[in-house]
Structure 1
């Protein structure tokens, strides 16, 4: 029997290589794990910083299509593990029956989610302060990264994570998500009513500024008409850096345990 494939999907401002420790852990657990980048993502953090225009102007549909193409080349449906906007992408692909299961960690808001906490607005202000950023790639400063990602770890650790993994991010997905509830054809729309899809785990950090707990709980409510498994797990003292900071293993082990309970 071939190993179950796992695709890790990063979100905004983090490079795909930020999943390296997760890949090693999941490979050791018997999965065939990979972390393909978004369309236009260079292979390294350094290159991504040098050529931000390569990443610019890719929207949600572009990213979904990119991963759908990767999935169709696999021998079997994969498990998807996505963080932030990667969690939104994972939910879309799961709802379209392209995945066997999904773990969405601090996932960006899908269409239908109404809460808009002030901390989320502040975390994304570097993009929204200029409408032209819709078609650009935007970088965070170390201080902005600290607020959006590293507020639950020390300043020293947040700065180290910023130096190691932070890259420019396309502004377009954020503008698309912000307009989702007034756009009937929003790319942030997920088939939350699909009762035939695979199981979904929503993971949230209780101290997350970028995707606060209220957003994840509102996301869970969007699945109330589906009979498919939809679980939620909270790490109360964790923030948006929970997949890359010193406590990443807690989140990864919990994801592995949940997948095992689902029969993977």
Structure 2
């Protein structure tokens, strides 16, 4: 018998932004009958403007990917059913890791940060992320993206006012260590293991996580009996969750969920 589709969605936020980035998405899916959660990362349960005032934040700076994954794993484990997981950027990587642990009915990785061992030679990827890695700087001080960096890495192609609104409403300081952890065993995926349905969403104009990197991530999954789907959307940058027209992607995700 085919399992019924759960009515719980857990949204997993990426690095550099507040969990408020999911507010419109939560409303969209709640109107479809889902119960949604968008837990803030540890030490980030405050408005973005408050978190920026704490920079450099001693609590945030010690965040590591293994701890972050355990944190979301515990939240998911406490739910009455295996939820649908929807993650963006580093949240997409956490989604992949939790799907690997068998904790999801299905996972949707939106512009997912790459797991260990997947690379790209795209210049924009290194330009957008180099300062966030914080090499040759104090790793025990948080990184706060400047507005020009935000324009390049997140909101390229958008009107100035929309770029500015996104920056002031959502940007938060980030741990350099958690970004570096994507190259460690904390980000390791067993691509040959059977897994629950997994959907990769990419954007053609994303500089931070290029579509080609998402495609390489998707192609690594080799268990042919497991459902793995890839879809690239034209004109979508890394600010995809708040970019005008995001509803098209949410509708596609809902249709994909109903097919599982």
Band the TM-score falls in, shorter-chain normalisation = over 0.9
Does structure 2 retain, via aligned residues, the 8 Å contact 1:96–1:191? no
Distance 2:138 2:160 in 1: 28
Quick one: distance in 1 between partners of 2:259 and 2:110?
18
Residue in structure 2 matched with residue 69 of structure 1 by the alignment: 74
| Superposed CA RMSD | 1.7
Aligned partners of 1:134, 1:252: CA distance in 2, in Å?
36
SS at match of 2:152: helix
Q: Deviations over 1:198-220 (max 9, x none)?
A: 10000000110000011111101
1:49-60 equivalent positions in 2, closer than 5 A? 49-52=52-55, 53=57, 54-60=59-65
Task: Output the CA distance in 1 between the equivalents of 2:146 and 2:116.
Answer: 29
Query: Which deviations, in whole Å up to 9, do the C-alpha atoms of 1:86-118 show, x marking residues without a partner?
Result: 000000000110111110000001122122421
CA–CA distance in 2 between the matches of 1:45 and 1:206?
28
Q: 1:105 aligns with which of 102, 110, 124?
A: 110
Within the candidate set 206, 223, 242, 1:244 is matched to 242
Equivalent in the alignment of 1:183? none
Q: Is the 1:116–1:215 contact (alpha carbons within 8 Å) kept by the matching residues of 2?
A: no
2:28 is aligned, of 25, 28, 34, to 25
Q: What is the DSSP-based 3-state SS (H/G/I as helix, E as strand, rest coil) of the residue aligned with 2:62?
A: coil
Report the Cα offset of residue 14 of structure 1.
0.9
Size of the alignment, in residue pairs? 255
Instruction: For structure 1, list consecutive stretches of 5 or more residues without a partner in the other structure.
Output: 181-185
For residue 5 of structure 1, what is the aligned residue in structure 2? 8
Does 1:159 find its partner at 2:157?
A: no
Which sections of structure 2, spanning at least 5 residues, go unmatched?
A: none
Q: In the TM superposition, what whole-angstrom CA distance separates every residue of 1:58-111 from its partner, at most 9, and x where no partner exists?
A: 111011000011011100111110000000000000011011111000000112
* Structure 1 contact 204–213 (Cα < 8 Å) conserved: yes
Deviations, residues 139-195 of structure 1 (Å, cap 9, x unaligned): 111110010100131222111111111111111122122x34xxxxx1110232221
Local SS of the residue matching 1:77: coil
